[in-house]
Amino acid sequence: MTYTPPKWAFSPHPLIANGHAQTILGIHWPRRPKPYQARQHKIDLDDGDQLVVHEDCPAEATDSRPIVLLVHGLAGCHLSAHIRRVTERLVEHGYRVFRKDMRGCGAGEGLAKFPTHCGRSADIASALHFIAELYPDTTTDLVGFSMGGAQALNLLAEAGEMRVGNLERTLVICPPVDLASVERHFHTFLGTRYDKFFGKLLWKQTLARWKHFPEMAPNAMPLRPRRLREIDEFVIAPSSGFHSADHYYQQASPGPKLETICQPVTILASEDDPVVPVGPLLTFARSSAVQVITTPQGGHLGFLAARNDDEDFHWLDWRILDWLQPELERSGEKTPCATVIQSV
C-alpha cells in the first residue's frame, strides 16, 4: 500500500480536473520565463558522445549551497516548461541547480551520435560525478521527470549500495517503470494521441542526429514512423545494443529492479496519468528504500492545484521544495513553505 503525507494530498483546480487537461496545460500554461543565464558545461562520455549540463545558481552563491540535478523526460530538454519553472523556483529558494540535457537534446544537439533512452542511467552517473568534481564538499539531490525518472531508478538499481558522485537522495516523478505497458497503452483510443505526439518529436530529433552524423543514418531514408514503437524498433534498439524493441522494453524497464534499490528514493505518480499507466508501479515489489506517493489526479507532470496554502497553483514545485527541506536544513539555509516527507 502507498501512504500519502498530508502535505502531498493533491486537489486539482476545479476547471482542469481531467488528467488530459492537467497534462496539456502543465506544458502549455502561458508564463514569462526569466532570461537564460546558466553556465554550460560539456561532459565527455566513454563512447565519444558528449552531454551538456546547465548550472544556475543564486546571486550570492557559495560552494556550500545545496545542489539539485534535474533530468527531463522524453523529447524534452533544459528549456522544457516544467524544468525551467522548477529551476527558477529552486534558485529563488537558495539552491544551485544543474539541468541535464539528454543526449542530442537541447544544447546537446550535434554532440551525441547515439540516442537517449530509458536505459541511459550511466549518463546521469556521469553528470553526478562531474558535479562532485566541481563541488566535492556538497551533496547532490536528483529529481527525474518521466523518462528521466526511469533512468534515475535504473541508476539506483545498478549502483546498489555504492554512492554515485555525491548523490544523497532521489525524487522521481511520473516514471514509466514498465515500458511494455506504456506501449500497450499507446494502442488505446486516447493513448494514440500521445503516441503520435511523442513519435513526431522523437523522429525530429532522430533526423537532426542523422544530419550531424550521417554515418548513423540508414542508406535508404524511411518514411516517418507512425508509432513510437517503430522508432524504438528501427532506431533505438539497433543503435543501443538491443535485439528489438521488446528486448529494449525488457532490459530498460526499472519496475522489476525496484526491489533491489538500496538508496533512498521517493516516487510521485498520478493515478489518472494519461501517458504512463500507474498500475505497474503499484504491482512491482519494491525495497524499503523506495517510497511511493500517488495522487488520484494530476495528469502527467501537470499537478495544477486548486487554491491551497502554497503561493501559487503549481503544486508540484512546492512539493519538490518540501522534499528538499532536510537538505537545506543541513546546509544551514532556510526556506518557506516546506515540510519533511514522512517515511512509509
64, 331 Cβ separation under 8 angstroms:
yes
* Amino acid residing at 197: F
In a domain, 167, yes or no: yes
118, 148 Cβ separation under 8 angstroms:
no
pLDDT of residue 5: 67
In a domain, 223, yes or no: no
pLDDT digits (tens, 9 = 90+) for 265-277: 999 999 999 999 9
287, 259 Cβ separation under 8 angstroms:
yes
SS3 223: coil
Rg, the chain, Cα only: 19
pLDDT of residue 161: 95
In a domain, 222, yes or no: no
Domain with 299, as residue range(s), is 6-183+258-330
In Å, how far are 55, 143, 303, 337 from 4, measured between CA atoms? Answer: 32, 19, 15, 18
Report the number of distinct structural domains present in the chain: 1
pLDDT of residue 59: 81
Report the phi/psi class of residue 138: left, alpha or beta, with left for phi > 0 and alpha for psi in -120 to 50: beta
| pLDDT (average), residues 217-228 | 84
- DSSP secondary structure letter of residue 65: S
39, 54 Cβ separation under 8 angstroms:
yes
Q: Is the pLDDT of residue 313 over 60?
A: yes
In a domain, 279, yes or no: yes
Which triple of cell numbers denotes residue 213?
A: 552524423
Q: Is the pLDDT of residue 98 over 50?
A: yes
pLDDT of residue 2: 54
In a domain, 102, yes or no: yes
In a domain, 245, yes or no: no
88, 33 Cβ separation under 8 angstroms:
yes
CATH of the domain at 134: 3.40.50.1820
In a domain, 94, yes or no: yes
In a domain, 309, yes or no: yes
Sign of CA dihedral 99, 104, 109, 114: positive
pLDDT of residue 62: 72
Give the count of beta carbons closer than 10 Å to the beta carbon of residue 298: 29
Within 113-152, strands assigned E span 140-145
Give the count of beta carbons closer than 10 Å to the beta carbon of residue 105: 25
pLDDT digits (tens, 9 = 90+) for 145-197: 999 999 999 999 999 999 999 999 999 999 999 999 999 999 999 999 999 99
What's the CA gap between 328 and 42, in Å, rounded? 27
pLDDT of residue 7: 75
Does the pTM of the predicted model rise above 0.85?
Answer: yes
Within the chain, strands assigned E span 39-44, 50-56, 67-71, 96-101, 140-145, 167-173, 265-270, 290-295
39, 107 Cβ separation under 8 angstroms:
no
Residue 171 phi, psi dihedral angles, 5° rounding: -120, 130
What is the band of 4 on the pLDDT scale with cuts at 50, 70, 90? Answer: low
